[in-house]
Amino acid sequence: MLMEAQSAYRTIKVQSQETGFGAEVTGVDLSKPLPPAVLAEVKDAWARHAVLAFPDQPLTLDQLEAFTLQIGPFGHDPYVEPMPGHPNVLEVRREPDEKVTPFGGNWHSDWSFQATPPAATILRSETIPPVGGDTLYADASRAYDELSEAMKDRLAPLRAIHSASRAYGPNSAYARELHLRAMPIIVSPEADKTCVHPLVRTHPVTGRKALFVSPVYTVGIEGMAPNDADPLLAELHKHIVQDRFVYRHHWREGMVVIWDNRCTMHNALGGYDGHRRVMHRTTVAGETPT
């Protein structure tokens, strides 16, 4: 359900989602280069709403790449083999007979263990199951805003430790389940490396602060014993994913969604065993979190 159109956009139509987080954008054709005024409005809407869904945009892989490059240069995608002939496109695929958790099936911000994690991820749906397969998005900016002042003060100096280890390390769930998945996931000891980022980051475009932690990739807090860090991280994760901060995206085929990894988390839901789900995915390079 969408709210009434409420924006002053002149070239596109932007409707906020009911919860005020995320928006649907129509009146634009992403298969062709966007005129500068349209691109500027898309970028403005993206900064304002963080998750934009564009229905009825059945882009080819070449068009998906071209749209991505209008937002920014490609990010670097580790741990999944790219599509043949498309080094910057990953295929997110789950076959009808797979029983394992979906790819991305727990709360995370993409590749947050990188020194410069991607600003955006763009996902274009190809095959959508008749049931299930929604994606949840959480608003980490509003979640930050609604913390107590005492908690904000406590978090301000902290730096969180990120690692791909739980997902792609030799002891990860993916490592045990590789043979059960259609996706060409790469398990590597590289994944056990860590990278430190501010626990609260400031969005380079909007200036808003957001919590930058997730249960998949945040493995600790710098200088804090696990006994203290783990309960704090658990409390923050529980806080961010409360219903009032979450937008549940229901896919239709040929839809494009772009989300901002700097101020959101997401979680791919299952519920479609027996059906195929296929998506194509690019990332846009980001900056060092500050």
Q: Does 121 bind ligand OGA (CB under 6 A)?
A: yes
Tokens found for residue 21: 């987080």
Q: What is the nearest approach in angstroms of Mn ion to the Cβ of residue 164?
A: 12
Which does residue 142 touch among ligand OGA, Mn ion, none (CB within 5 to 8 A, set by kind)? none
9 vs 282 by CB, closer to ligand OGA: 282
The span from the CA of 256 to the CA of 122, in Å, is 7
Q: Does 266 bind ligand OGA (CB under 6 A)?
A: yes
Q: Which of 75, 102, 104, 117 binds Mn ion (CB under 5 A)?
A: 104
- What are the DSSP calls for 19-87, one per residue? TSS-EEEES--TTSPPPHHHHHHHHHHHHHHSEEEE-S----HHHHHHHHHHH--B----SBPPBTTBT
Give the Cα-Cα-Cα angle 224, 212, 219 (nearest 5 degrees).
Answer: 40
Task: For 164-244, list the strands marked E by DSSP.
Answer: 194-198, 200-202, 209-211, 218-221
Q: What is the nearest approach in angstroms of ligand OGA to the Cβ of residue 185?
A: 12
CA atoms within 13 A on the CB side of 36: 0
Q: Does 104 bind ligand OGA (CB under 6 A)?
A: yes
Q: Which of 24, 65, 110, 139 binds ligand OGA (CB under 6 A)?
A: 110
* Per rule CB under 5 A, count of chain residues that contact Mn ion: 2
Q: Does 110 bind Mn ion (CB under 5 A)?
A: yes
Q: Which stretch binds Mn ion (CB under 5 A): 110-118, 122-130, 270-278, 281-289?
A: 110-118
21 vs 103 by CB, closer to Mn ion: 103
Q: Does 117 bind Mn ion (CB under 5 A)?
A: no
Tell which phi-psi region holds residue 176, choosing left (phi > 0), alpha (psi between -120 and 50) or beta.
alpha
Question: Torsions phi, psi of 72, nearest 5?
Answer: 170, 175
The span from the CA of 285 to the CA of 72, in Å, is 7
Closest CA to 94 of 161, 182, 221, 156: 182
118 vs 169 by CB, closer to ligand OGA: 118
Q: What is the nearest approach in angstroms of ligand OGA to the Cβ of residue 155?
A: 25
Q: Does 279 bind ligand OGA (CB under 6 A)?
A: yes
111 vs 245 by CB, closer to ligand OGA: 111
Q: What is the nearest approach in angstroms of Mn ion to the Cβ of residue 103?
A: 8
Query: Bridge-partner residues for 26, per DSSP?
Result: 13
Q: Does 219 bind ligand OGA (CB under 6 A)?
A: no
Residues that bind Mn ion (CB under 5 A): 104, 110
Residues that bind ligand OGA (CB under 6 A): 92, 104, 110, 121, 123, 135, 266, 268, 279, 281
